[in-house]
Structure 1
């Protein structure tokens, strides 16, 4: 949370950069193809019912951006109907609600929120947001379900700037529109999940400072498709195939008009050589219309359960991940091709016998923070730096 309610809302990453966290909504990526991250301030927290966190590299499962972790948000899990109002310091006030009605064995829900924060501990630090959503869940046969999520948000904020460079006249408005249609169910093959989404964003920045006037607009339109087929377990083994496709159109006053398509296919396998051991390798290939060669990523994880009195669980993980970074974001890039930001990490963790109600977990590992060799023309970074890490976590029951 940078700069109070009007600032950028992101998720901390073990790599130190928020754009290394892939944010998904109902299984579809939300990260901007222009700057690589996602501003959580554009998605009201009142609409989120639950969230799943996947730690570590996940590009072999989810693609670009899943370098430091993956977060999947869902609107499901909220009460059927509610009305909530809040108020607080610095001129904070807001009202949100949801009305849910049963329809044909399913439900139709309407959500709305209005939020304002003056942020008057600084000048030009206010934030206003009005958002609404329509959620439809309908059964399609005995084992299938179809859902629709339509979400719109309009926000206006002041950009106070840094203490060393105040911007008392800078303003930014964001108009967001998200539509997702999903089909989930069971067949003779296993569990199927198909999602199609349209994401549109219109950002308008204006600084009316008489000495340094500036104005720019960035419009991003993304069409995404993702299909996941999880086959039934056979002989203790299980396979999951993922296919994805997307098209991004960007109209930017700074970088010009950009357009590219992406496609990917991935395979996750789970093998159980013994009753207490499972091995999970995954591999994925990504293609981009701006990239000549296919980007491969992979990972392997091992989990073993012990019957002893001291050591209970052993986890070993190694994988590679990446994120696209290209001309569509930095207009001064010296190359026409899309550049790739790569990373790898490896870790081993031990779960020790609980002491009372405390479960100790020790994790050790190493990571390559980033392979910046492809970015020297833009940033002039040195060769990759590697680091060792370790942490002890105490889980309380």
Structure 2
């Protein structure tokens, strides 16, 4: 009996050991865009088993029997993740969980609206925020192109040949938009389009957009709105990353970067962007390149120094060089500046430095400085345009809270220098320093009501004292309903010396008909935000605004009164931009997401009782983004697009046969992204699915493309073009009739690799 019992025990132990040896397990990691996510809750549905990812994003379920399981991961600010898996006996299954930020994550921190970090929902100034995920949904070689899918924001191409451009917000021209990098106004005037090129998208933490005047905090040029590109801090960036793609047109883009430490107190971030396009294409058969050829490199580096009490000390720098040209297909560099073959060739060299230093005082005081130098060597046919622009900026702010008052006091100085080879600066460079002081107070009555007021004083030696007040009121009706009212004034000290002077023959005189006053604006904005959380996990967000901006003293150049002069004076009337804008965000628990935006606007200029629609300003816009993730296949789909209503176009005269108004047009894109291999993402798709280009419905886009040097154009004694058999429409060569990209349908493919 004893022997039998021993035998039974031995058999039991053997089978038990065998059984325990055959139990299965599930382990893996949780991440978002390659970054590990700690403390994510994980459960196996319909079991009592649960765990959480550790500080390295790792998790494990042990001692599982074979069978089917549903693993679910949840975390605040992220969409729930769910996947069905099958375990075999004794299997150790590895699962990689990729979380997606929830669309309802409206509580991110923003800094642009009030110059201090605040919760977006608590900000009295409406700020739109776009994450790196937004940039990935329609990959582009620069931020300038990426903004085409932001509601109410339109990248405007100003030249069919050289493809330079600017950013329009709510229908206002590019000079009224201030572009910031890490809160510093280093991009303006001559360098706007270049400042938005060459920053690796992988180094961008978020893009903040404020629509409406922000001159109280940011000074001149922040009249129509501002765009703040905020770069990552080194600890948040990947250890190494590569993002590269190419298109069927022959475009090639490469982003590569890394982070490293120098000692124990210094972290550094390094990124390089390289873009090349050297494949002349002429699909509209006018012998002019449809897309400017480019060879561009940008090097960006950012240093963060660790200090006591977590005080901020960061320094960043960027170097940018670009060689771009467009023109007749037979153009080569040997024709540069000559009159045999027409080409527009632009060499750009630019460097920037930014610094932020929190003073070692008990009070919260921040010193911010920036400086940039922009040199441009351009030729437009046989007309040279050589320009230098330097901008320096320094600002000291004091952030102080007293009771219910949250004060921000500041002093700033801005230095502008500009010189070119045109008659505009023949006798004197444009050089000025503008000191400023400003104060802002946000009074929080209670959790529902807050009131913000601000005032800025600038002194310009050319224009004297300039005051710009602002006000904002936030009413939190419920936790999911917010009403904002904003009032602001803006001013812009106009730099008359822009790249438009490249169109001069060199013989025109610049005439300032009167003492020019700064352009001034008054803006009103009403914003309403509504969030809805359904019981089934569906999320809905509705964000709507009504805006009104009125300009006075607007400065416009007069090329027509005297063909030998450019006459500048202030507009004797008004310019008005008004309209409504709305964004609708819808997220389903199955992974389908919709983001739809629409803007209707009316932008007019009135002088001498005559009101006219502003040129190159669309009457309505629409943007959309449809995303769907098939989690079982690690595959996501993004369908993005925009829609633009008619806009008045620049004709050359009454005989010009081109359409006075553009049609309603749309650019649409589709992309597929596969994330089934650790650290890798493969993506590809088609851009401009409809193959739309501006030449549809027009006899030509570029006037006199067959005679770019106007050799066969005849003028009368007054300097006006005379119709001839060779020139029946009385035109001169002109590439400015442009309202959209001239690049047709194309396929693209790319990959991303990140190591954290």
**Shared fold (TM-score, shorter chain, > 0.5):** yes
Change (3 A) 1:138 1:361: closer
**Does residue 1:44 correspond to 2:199, yes or no?**
yes
Q: Is the 8 A contact 2:517 2:570 kept in 1?
A: no
Q: What aligned pairs does 1:52-201 form with structure 2 within 5 A after superposition?
A: 52-76=208-232, 78-103=237-262, 104-118=264-278, 120-122=280-282, 123-124=288-289, 125-160=292-327, 168-184=342-358, 187-190=361-364, 192-201=365-374
Q: Count the aligned residue pairs.
A: 381
Answer 1 or 2: which has greater helix percent. Answer: 2
Change (3 A) 1:102 1:6: farther
Following TM superposition, by how much is the alpha carbon of 1:332 offset from its aligned partner in structure 2, in angstroms?
2.0
| Post-superposition CA distance 1:10-38 (Å, at most 9, x none) | 33211421121111112211233x55955
Structure-1 residue corresponding to 2:398 = 229
Q: Which moved more, 1:76-85 or 1:56-65?
A: 76-85
Secondary structure, in 3 states, of the residue corresponding to 1:61? helix
| TM-score, normalising length: structure 1 | 0.85
Following TM superposition, by how much is the alpha carbon of 1:244 offset from its aligned partner in structure 2, in angstroms?
1.1
Q: Is the 8 A contact 1:272 1:278 kept in 2?
A: yes
Change (3 A) 1:388 1:259: closer
Structure-1 residue corresponding to 2:453 = 281
| Post-superposition CA distance 1:151-185 (Å, at most 9, x none) | 11110111449xxxxx9411111100111222136
Structure 1: how far apart are the matches of 2:356 and 2:209?
A: 21
Structure 2: how far apart are the matches of 1:184 and 1:121?
A: 51
Partner of residue 266 from structure 1, selected from 434, 438, 459? 438
Structure 1: how far apart are the matches of 2:399 and 2:279?
A: 47
Structure-2 residue corresponding to 1:238 = 406
Structure-1 residue corresponding to 2:541 = 359
Q: Which moved more, 1:7-16 or 1:235-244?
A: 7-16
Change (3 A) 1:185 1:84: farther
Structure 2 gaps, min length 5:
1-154, 283-287, 329-340, 502-508, 558-566, 588-756
Partner of residue 204 from structure 1, selected from 377, 396, 405? 377
| Post-superposition CA distance 1:110-145 (Å, at most 9, x none) | 322221023633444201101212321112323323
Structure 2: how far apart are the matches of 1:374 and 1:93?
A: 40
| Post-superposition CA distance 1:194-218 (Å, at most 9, x none) | 12222000001113x4xxx211200
Change (3 A) 1:18 1:373: closer
Q: Is the 8 A contact 1:143 1:185 kept in 2?
A: no
Q: Is the 8 A contact 2:200 2:273 kept in 1?
A: no
Q: Which moved more, 1:139-148 or 1:14-23?
A: 139-148
**Does residue 1:251 correspond to 2:402, yes or no?**
no
| Post-superposition CA distance 1:56-87 (Å, at most 9, x none) | 21111111111121111233254342123321
Following TM superposition, by how much is the alpha carbon of 1:283 offset from its aligned partner in structure 2, in angstroms?
0.7
Greater C-alpha Rg? 2
Partner of residue 390 from structure 1, selected from 560, 576, 580? 580
Change (3 A) 1:244 1:5: farther
Q: Which moved more, 1:140-149 or 1:22-31?
A: 140-149
Structure-1 residue corresponding to 2:553 = 372
Structure 2: how far apart are the matches of 1:119 and 1:194?
A: 46
| Post-superposition CA distance 1:232-263 (Å, at most 9, x none) | x2212100012211222222112322211111
Secondary structure, in 3 states, of the residue corresponding to 2:217? helix
Structure-1 residue corresponding to 2:174 = 18
Query: Over aligned residue pairs, what C-alpha RMSD do you find?
Result: 2.9
**Does residue 1:346 correspond to 2:524, yes or no?**
yes
Change (3 A) 1:239 1:186: farther
Change (3 A) 1:338 1:328: farther
Structure 2: how far apart are the matches of 1:380 and 1:270?
A: 36
Q: Which moved more, 1:253-262 or 1:338-347?
A: 338-347
Change (3 A) 1:391 1:179: closer
Following TM superposition, by how much is the alpha carbon of 1:9 offset from its aligned partner in structure 2, in angstroms?
4.6
Following TM superposition, by how much is the alpha carbon of 1:312 offset from its aligned partner in structure 2, in angstroms?
2.8
Secondary structure, in 3 states, of the residue corresponding to 2:379? strand
Structure 2: how far apart are the matches of 1:364 and 1:94?
A: 39
Structure 1: how far apart are the matches of 2:448 and 2:417?
A: 48
Secondary structure, in 3 states, of the residue corresponding to 2:271? strand
Secondary structure, in 3 states, of the residue corresponding to 1:295? strand
Structure 2: how far apart are the matches of 1:68 and 1:112?
A: 31
Change (3 A) 1:142 1:380: closer
Structure 2: how far apart are the matches of 1:276 and 1:186?
A: 35
Structure 2: how far apart are the matches of 1:145 and 1:75?
A: 15
Partner of residue 384 from structure 2, selected from 206, 215, 225? 215
